[in-house]
Structure 1
């Protein structure tokens, strides 16, 4: 999905190497992401840095199991945490020269690539953005030659029909947003206990309940009038009136456990009074929303 963007990012990072000094060969060299194959090896064309993506896997050490809290249009919910993915490249260098001179040049180029990429423990955000990898919620750390992912490198080269070559591993960890919404209700009831005399026996338990007033299209209605009316006589249970906020939300803070109540709502432009009754506090469903027809 986004691996080609990562290829473009690494390409830009290599092309940013200065053309003079200790890494003078990198910018002038070709860059390839193809799989080296017999009869089509890079050293038959131009001096080349080859980055072969050989493995992609989840980084379990960075795995975040807890969902992230999200809010949209007054609705709260959970969203699955982004996937952290390790992308492992086998980096080799190829020279168009032959014989001993070709070996020396390829070794020099491989060393320069190793040195240059090791300068970036994290890929700078600008390179990610310019390559199209927008929305990375975390930094993109890199590891150079720190994991032997190609343990069977000899078998790899043998299968391709190519003599074994020196290489190093480049591991880049990227963030992949799965864009999965996890259905779960918002927290609409909070319980509080108040001690009047410092004795546990004097504790008074009150519940905070909240909801949203919406229109028929489920759009939140701000500045709506909402009345909390108790259906039983209790000294602690009192009538309250609240005005919804810009997200259509309302909160009542003195509901008494076990007692019934009614919620009534009025809003400008809605001639009818909306009413909803509840047999007990807290509601079994935890839903206190009101919706105009």
Structure 2
């Protein structure tokens, strides 16, 4: 994912700074090797050093969605949002002299870099990359808006430490401090169309250990069976059955219908004991059944017509 962000930053700079080629934009540390690389060339170079990564916990969402394609169901979690911190500097291959104002040229380029990123909020891959480049980007990132922060007032807190560790010959120089927030999706988790019990927690703010701020919820899978033929015949799934889950106080907590295989999922149910009522056309309604949430991690709730 970070290499994709590097590419977006590179192409944003190339498009916004006439005369700057992608070959003169680097993402390595601005150390002695970088200085030698610049010194062996001509013109002004731009270095985009990735110096820190932090998750933005204020944007975390503990939400899981189920997506079914054919007979396969996957669970997809909302992506984490990672703040990628870059220090961007300008480097002139020439040295300052009466005939060559090298440092002034560096400042000119650095000012142009600043203007480019101030105008680039948010960055969107589909608006920046070529079709060939975009084809290599995951679909979830192609239209995602990447918020940009440029030279935040608090600055980069470890600037002196940074310049003190990148090489003996590398001196302190001004930098554009850029922060780009990008989503990092988790891989889909295949659940094969059958949900037993999935426990989640949800909170509008960041949960803190021990303060009880997060509410636990459960998704519980079930199966409706027709056993009216008696014990000699195997029960068969009941499609399109109506399942209603009641709180002990009598209010309806959830209402779903069974699929073609008789399966159903009760989503986002707080732990506790409930009563379930099931009805289906042509079958005698059974007595309400006690349902405990969460259910067994490897078994479905069974509601039977008998």
Q: TM-score, normalised by structure 2?
A: 0.60
Deviations 1:105-148 (A, max 9, x none): 00110000110111011112413673533312742111111165
Once the two structures are TM-superposed, the CA of residue 210 in structure 1 deviates from its matched residue by: 3.8
Structure 1 residues 121 and 209, CA, compared in 2 at 3 Å: closer, same or farther? closer
User: Which residue pairs with 1:112 in the alignment?
Assistant: 112
What pairs with 1:118-157 in structure 2 (closer than 5 Å)?
118-126=118-126, 127=128, 130-131=133-134, 132-134=136-138, 135-136=140-141, 138-146=144-152, 148=154, 150-157=156-163
User: Which residue pairs with 2:202 in the alignment?
Assistant: none
User: Which residue pairs with 2:13 in the alignment?
Assistant: 14
Deviations 1:1-28 (A, max 9, x none): x2111111111111112xxxxx545458
**Match of 1:114, SS?**
helix
Q: Are 2:49 and 2:88, in contact at CA under 8 Å, matched by a contact in 1?
A: yes
Displaced runs of 4 or more, over 6 A: 74-77, 203-207, 236-239, 280-285
Higher Cα Rg: structure 1 or 2? Answer: 1
- 1:89 counterpart = 2:86: yes
User: Which residue pairs with 1:176 in the alignment?
Assistant: 184
- 1:211 counterpart = 2:210: no
User: Which residue pairs with 1:166 in the alignment?
Assistant: 174
**Match of 2:156, SS?**
coil
C-alpha distance in 2 between matches for 1:115 and 1:37 = 26
User: Which residue pairs with 2:64 in the alignment?
Assistant: 68
C-alpha distance in 2 between matches for 1:50 and 1:204 = 62
User: Which residue pairs with 1:287 in the alignment?
Assistant: 301
C-alpha distance in 2 between matches for 1:208 and 1:39 = 65
C-alpha distance in 2 between matches for 1:147 and 1:25 = 30
Q: Are 1:121 and 1:142, in contact at CA under 8 Å, matched by a contact in 2?
A: yes
Deviations 1:82-103 (A, max 9, x none): 1111111110001122115111
C-alpha distance in 2 between matches for 1:237 and 1:99 = 84
List alignment gaps of at least 5 residues for structure 1. Answer: 18-22, 194-199, 221-235, 243-251, 259-279
C-alpha distance in 2 between matches for 1:105 and 1:204 = 72
Between 66-75 and 90-99, report the one with greater CA deviation.
66-75
Structure 1 residues 102 and 289, CA, compared in 2 at 3 Å: closer, same or farther? farther
> Structure 2 residue aligned with 1:57, among 54, 59, 77?
54
> Structure 1 residue aligned with 2:281, among 222, 240, 245?
240
Aligned length: 225
Once the two structures are TM-superposed, the CA of residue 80 in structure 1 deviates from its matched residue by: 2.5
C-alpha distance in 1 between matches for 2:300 and 2:221 = 8
Q: Are 1:88 and 1:149, in contact at CA under 8 Å, matched by a contact in 2?
A: no
Q: Are 1:191 and 1:205, in contact at CA under 8 Å, matched by a contact in 2?
A: yes
**Match of 2:119, SS?**
coil
List alignment gaps of at least 5 residues for structure 2. Answer: 192-196, 199-218, 223-242, 264-276
Q: TM-score, normalised by structure 1?
A: 0.62
User: Which residue pairs with 2:4 in the alignment?
Assistant: 5
- 1:257 counterpart = 2:288: yes
